[in-house]
């Protein structure tokens, strides 16, 4: 009999009418991973596993079984994996995601009559009780299961049921009833008529590997000319590809490549009056030549852009394009769609502001316009056009100043068409806003790493990112600097500060990036004391640099990126573990990989002084025993150290190299009692 909940009754589901099937007894709750009650998907990349846990229980003392169900959204059939009991009614199973796209998963549980019978029968047998009635009950259960089994297995089950009903002379009834192989066969064909399925189907978005592991280099093509004073082109940028790829980067990130407005154009150092030779900010998008779908003429042609993308791919680099949904006063949309902009009482359009900063050369789009549908379609069209031009990674400027609903709609739509497309959120904003954008679909996000400098700050922040529910949907991309941000640490710490932040970014995070060549050349002069703006910022003028400067961090960057490529432990975030040190200026942490790869990183956080102290390793997390010696090979210098036990001494001089990046090689003893390290 089915009962209907009164929708007006308190606790009945807020007006939702549910059918309560009174014979179903299993409860499924506390499912992990599950983001906001299933409102948002979790994230993985191809080849990763989704480990699912849940509390599954029922009234009484009956035994339960449950299984994890999963499928690609395009598939009609569910795949099933038995769940393993962990104790205290907690169950676990996992599945592999092998294709880019979306997967669904849920859980099903049921009272196992056969498992309950077998458990109780064993107890009765041990107590010496009469088993005749119980054997007949078991025979009926087995016969019932045979009706759900294929022919060959059904035949074996029916023969077993017959043995229980008509035991052979001298046969041990208990041994026959508790036969492990036959019991396993019976458990393959349970009666799930009264099974409970979890009320939600949860979603996993699966991206290609670059969503998890990537190494970014930002460059302004207009500053790539070989001689000073000339506006660079895409062809000039091609000449930089061996330099960038040679350092081990795999993503070439370009600021906006669209026409730059002339009205209210900013001059050098963000002055409000531009001179005749001032090139303006690439983020002031739109001019007579076009808007977000056009190419800035001094950079070259569309064909030149396509050629750069192709040449970059040949060099092992993927081009990422900046998408900034804002317009200069000269943008065609200002004339063609005035309804997409917010006007002030005097009829002028409201320019962008972040008080006290003013951006008179930029008009923000109004996402509260009554014509929002047309605006959304136009913005989606921008993405589609660049996707057709072979761009598959987009760094999105200030997404937190655009409507959340738009991002959820456009990202899901684009990924349904092009599952390999990736989005990086440049969202230096409040934590909950950053996390919401990640939930809505952004593949990666900028972080607060740029301003986290102390041991406590770094430990607390990265513990949050890698050990809480955040890790299921938020992928950090760590940047020590950007064209907008020259942190104080880099301003005052000199070359050692750049080396410190480089190693931290490249080892704390599986994805990191630098704004170059400002970073490797150590540019650190602020526009004014207390400012994070660069003096003579490249955002407003052409730059010419000598890439062969002997003080460049290029060799260290190349070595670090090689280690990242060669060591799977550095290609993931969730195995990050911090280890104690007795010096607050020494930070120690490790990463591991299933392939047996383990690295330990120790960084001197002080750019001015040598720091020394003991690190206290959590050996269990590293798979080491206290009496096991291991070799620690420094991947940055080639030095080797023999360590043993949890406590080991470290000394780091920032003016030479402020960090150890240690590959753990375990001592292995052979049959001939000969030691070697592996």
Active site residues: 397, 426
Q: What b-and-e string marks burial along 568-586, b requiring 16 or more CB atoms within 10 Å of the CB?
A: bbbbbbebbbbbebebebb
Tell me which long-range contacts 29-35 makes (C-beta under 8 A, separation of at least 24). Answer: 29/54, 29/55, 30/54, 30/55, 31/107, 31/198, 31/200, 31/202, 33/202, 33/469, 33/472, 34/200, 34/202, 35/439, 35/469, 35/472, 35/473
Nearest C-alpha neighbor of 518 from the set 237, 219, 280, 225: 219
CB 594 within 8 A of CB 561: no
- The owner of tokens 């993927």 is 318
**E-only strand ranges, 430-542:** 444-445, 511-515
Give the C-alpha separation, 380 to 388, whole Å: 12
CB 171 within 8 A of CB 407: no
Q: Assign 318 to helix, strand or coil.
A: strand
CB 231 within 8 A of CB 125: no
Give the C-alpha separation, 473 to 489, whole Å: 30
Q: Could you tell me the two tokens for 75?
A: 């598939």
Q: How many residues in the chain?
A: 678
Q: Assign 445 to helix, strand or coil.
A: strand
Strands 214-218 and 251-254: parallel
CB 592 within 8 A of CB 569: yes
CB 546 within 8 A of CB 522: no
Give the C-alpha separation, 556 to 498, whole Å: 11
| Measured torsion, CA atoms of residues 517, 522, 524, 525, in degrees rounded to the nearest 10 | -80
Nearest C-alpha neighbor of 549 from the set 518, 524, 513: 518
């Amino acid at each position: 009999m089915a009962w209907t909940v009164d929708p007006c009754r308190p606790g009945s589901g807020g007006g939702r009418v549910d059918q309560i099937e009174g014979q179903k007894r299993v409860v499924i709750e506390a499912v992990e991973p599950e983001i906001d009650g299933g409102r948002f998907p979790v994230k993985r990349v191809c080849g990763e596993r989704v480990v699912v846990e849940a509390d599954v229980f029922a009234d009484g003392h009956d035994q339960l079984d449950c299984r994890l169900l999963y499928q690609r959204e395009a598939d009609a059939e569910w795949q099933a994996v038995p769940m393993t009991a962990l104790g205290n009614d907690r169950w676990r199973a996992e599945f592999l995601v092998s294709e880019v796209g979306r997967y669904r998963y849920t859980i099903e549980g049921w009272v196992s009559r056969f498992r309950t019978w077998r458990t109780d029968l064993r107890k009765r047998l041990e107590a010496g009780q009469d088993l005749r009635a119980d054997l007949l009950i078991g025979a009926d259960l087995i016969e019932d299961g045979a009706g759900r089994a294929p022919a060959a297995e059904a035949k074996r089950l029916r023969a077993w049921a017959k043995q229980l009903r008509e035991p052979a002379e001298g046969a041990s009834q208990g041994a026959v009833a508790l036969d492990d192989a036959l019991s396993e066969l019976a458990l393959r064909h349970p009666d799930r008529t009264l099974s409970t399925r979890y009320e939600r189907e949860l979603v996993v978005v699966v991206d290609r590997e670059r969503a998890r592991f990537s190494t970014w280099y930002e460059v302004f093509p207009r500053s790539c000319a070989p001689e000073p004073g000339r506006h660079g082109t895409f062809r000039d940028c091609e000449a930089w590809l061996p330099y960038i790829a040679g350092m081990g980067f795999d993503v070439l990130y370009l600021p906006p490549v669209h026409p730059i407005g002339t009205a209210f154009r900013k001059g050098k150092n963000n002055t409000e009056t531009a001179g005749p030779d001032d090139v303006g900010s690439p983020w002031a998008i739109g001019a007579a030549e076009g808007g977000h779908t056009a190419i800035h003429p001094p950079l070259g042609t569309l064909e030149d852009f396509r050629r750069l993308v192709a040449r970059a791919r040949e060099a092992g680099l993927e081009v990422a394009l900046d998408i900034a949904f804002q317009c200069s006063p000269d943008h065609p949309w200002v004339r063609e769609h005035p309804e997409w902009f917010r006007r002030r009482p005097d009829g002028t359009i409201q320019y962008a502001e972040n008080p006290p900063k003013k951006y008179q050369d930029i008009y923000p789009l109004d996402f509260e316009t009554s014509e929002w549908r047309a605006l959304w379609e136009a913005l989606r069209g921008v993405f589609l056009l660049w996707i057709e031009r072979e761009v598959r990674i987009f760094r999105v400027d200030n997404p937190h100043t655009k409507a959340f609903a738009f991002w959820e709609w456009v990202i899901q739509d684009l990924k349904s068409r092009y599952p390999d497309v990736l989005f990086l959120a440049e969202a230096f904003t409040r934590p909950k806003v950053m996390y919401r954008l990640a939930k809505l679909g952004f593949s990666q996000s900028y972080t607060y790493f740029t301003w986290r400098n102390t041991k406590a700050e770094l430990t607390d922040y990265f513990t949050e990112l890698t050990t809480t529910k955040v890790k299921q949907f938020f992928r950090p991309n760590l940047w020590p600097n950007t064209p907008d941000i020259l942190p104080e640490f880099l301003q005052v710490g000199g070359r050692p500060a750049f080396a410190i932040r480089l190693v931290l970014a490249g080892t704390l995070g599986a994805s990191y990036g630098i704004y170059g060549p400002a970073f490797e050349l150590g540019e650190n002069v602020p526009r004014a004391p207390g400012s994070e703006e660069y003096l003579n910022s490249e955002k407003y003028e052409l730059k010419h640099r000598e890439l062969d400067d002997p003080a460049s961090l290029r060799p260290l960057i190349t070595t670090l990126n090689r280690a990242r490529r060669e060591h799977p432990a550095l290609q993931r975030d969730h195995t990050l573990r911090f280890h104690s040190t007795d010096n607050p200026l020494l930070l120690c942490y490790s990463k591991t990989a299933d392939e047996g790869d383990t690295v330990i990183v120790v960084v001197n956080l002080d750019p001015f002084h040598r720091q020394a102290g003991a690190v206290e390793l959590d050996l269990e997390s590293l798979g080491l025993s206290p009496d096991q010696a291991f070799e620690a090979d420094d991947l940055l210098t080639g030095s080797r150290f023999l360590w043993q036990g949890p406590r080991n001494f470290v000394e780091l001089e920032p003016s030479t190299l402020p960090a150890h990046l240690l590959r753990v090689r375990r001592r292995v003893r052979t049959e001939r009692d000969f030691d070697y390290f592996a």
